Every structure is written in C-alpha cells, then in structure tokens.
Amino acid sequence: MAWIESHTEIERHRKVLLMADELEMEPVHLSGHLHALWHAVLEQQEDGNLSTWPDSMVARQAQFNGDCSKFVSLLKKHKFLEENGLIHDWLDYAGRYLKNKYHTANPRKLKAIEKLHKSTSSQPKGRSKSDNQPNQPTTPNQPHTKGESPTENGFEEFWSGYPRKEKKPAALKVWIRLHPSDELRARILDDVACRRKTEEWKRETGRYIPQPSTYLNQRRWEDEGTVTAQPSDPWGKYAKAGH
C-alpha cells in the first residue's frame, strides 16, 4: 500500500491558510485537495513530475471542481508546485516510501528520482513576496531556519540546547538522515529540555548524558516513562551556561 508523510499542522500552516482564503474555502477542505493530489501522484507519477499534466488533470486528481487554471496557478504561487511541474519538496512527502520500495529492488530508479528533485532544490531561487520576513516556513513539512540548508533544518537549535557538545559532525549526519518534520523536531527539543532537568543528566556534571549522535541515533525521545514534564523555558540556564 502506497503512503505519504502527513503532519498534523497542515490545516493551520501559513501557506494553506493563504491559499484557502484565495480560493474562498476552509483550510481543512484545501488540505483534502492537497492530499488527494499527493496520493494520485504517488500512484500515477511517483517521481513527482507533473510537467506533462494539463491543469485540468492536476485539478481533477486533486478532486477540485473549480477553476483549474486558478487552482494550479495558486499551487505554484504558494510553492506546493514548482514552475517546472515538480511537486515542491516531494521527497519530504514520498521519500521514505520510495526508498523502502526501490532501495533494493531498483536503486537506479530511486537515484534518478532523488537527482531530479535535488537538482531543482539546489538551484538559486528568487525572492517572492512571502520571503520579506525571515525564517518563514517553505512547506507544511519543513520550515527552513535562516542560514541553514533544508537538510540541516533545525539542527543548530538542537545543538545549541544539547548539554553535551561532542562530535558535532556525527550528530549532524544522523540529524540529516532523520530529516525531522516540524512535529518531530519540536518533540526532540522538548524531550532534551526536560531531560536536562532530570537527576540522571545532572549527575556528576553530565557524565551520563549520551553523546548527541547517540541520542539521535537511538531515538531516545521515544523512551517511555522517562520524561513527562513540558518545559516552560525550552533551553534554560543549563544550556546557556555551555555545560
């Protein structure tokens, strides 16, 4: 069964809200159209390249019954669809599924799909009206932090708050592999902030704090029964002290 990654914040995402207003519909309805399109693309055009699809096909697969040209124009305006016909950040939605499907069975096809989208994402882009404010998120899946590449998204925030500063390149490598969504990134940051307050992490000047790469690689934020409190100060004085 084919599947894509979908995150809970999409109905409240800035881009969805803006596009929904322009189409005069509820954001939750636009979310449905977007998911219908993504599902159809994964089934029929899994490389995410819609350059051969006419506007009517894009709108139809999205189950949108209004003005087809307007719908596609707004998809491009709000960066759900690139000007060249590629689904914006398609690998964020379908990347894991495609890797599971083709990593062993057809690695050449997987590399071709990845190359198609990576070559597009690496090209310089002009500034749009929505770029006037810093640190604006670019897709419902991945906000870009100023000065970071999409693959490093949020890592510096994690690193600045993690109390054990060792083997940064190794930690970055794991972070890139995780490619965390908004939701996962927030969960990791909250977990680290809470763990800093535990006796285990405070004991013997942090002797029992795992290396950051180990913490990430072992997905320690998924441990059960360890941390329950939600921090009011995400990084607190401990991190600011540089311990």
Could you report the per-residue pLDDT of 157-209, keeping only the tens digit for each?
Answer: 888 888 888 888 888 888 888 888 888 888 898 888 888 888 888 887 778 88
Backbone dihedral angles phi then psi of residue 81, each to the nearest 5 degrees: -140, 130
Same domain, yes or no: 86 and 183: no
Same domain, yes or no: 12 and 117: yes
Same domain, yes or no: 109 and 157: no
Instruction: Quote the number of domains for the chain.
Output: 2
Alpha helices in 62-203 (DSSP H): 68-77, 90-102, 107-121, 155-161, 168-178, 182-195, 199-202
Q: Please state, as a whole number, how many other Cβ atoms lie within 10 Å of the Cβ of residue 119.
A: 10
Same domain, yes or no: 88 and 166: no
Could you report the per-residue pLDDT of 61-77, keeping only the tens digit for each?
Answer: 999 999 999 999 999 99
Is 130 domain-assigned?
Answer: no
What pLDDT score does 238 carry?
Answer: 39
Q: Which domain holds residue 236?
A: 150-240
Could you report the per-residue pLDDT of 80-134, keeping only the tens digit for each?
Answer: 999 999 999 898 888 888 988 888 888 898 899 989 888 655 444 444 433 444 3
Same domain, yes or no: 82 and 155: no
Q: DSSP per residue over 105-130, as a string?
A: T-HHHHHHHHHHHHHHHTS-----GG
Do 218 and 180 form a contact (C-beta atoms < 8 A)?
A: no
Q: Which of 27-31, 90-94, 148-152 has the lowest mean pLDDT?
A: 148-152
Q: What's the predicted TM-score (pTM) here?
A: 0.52
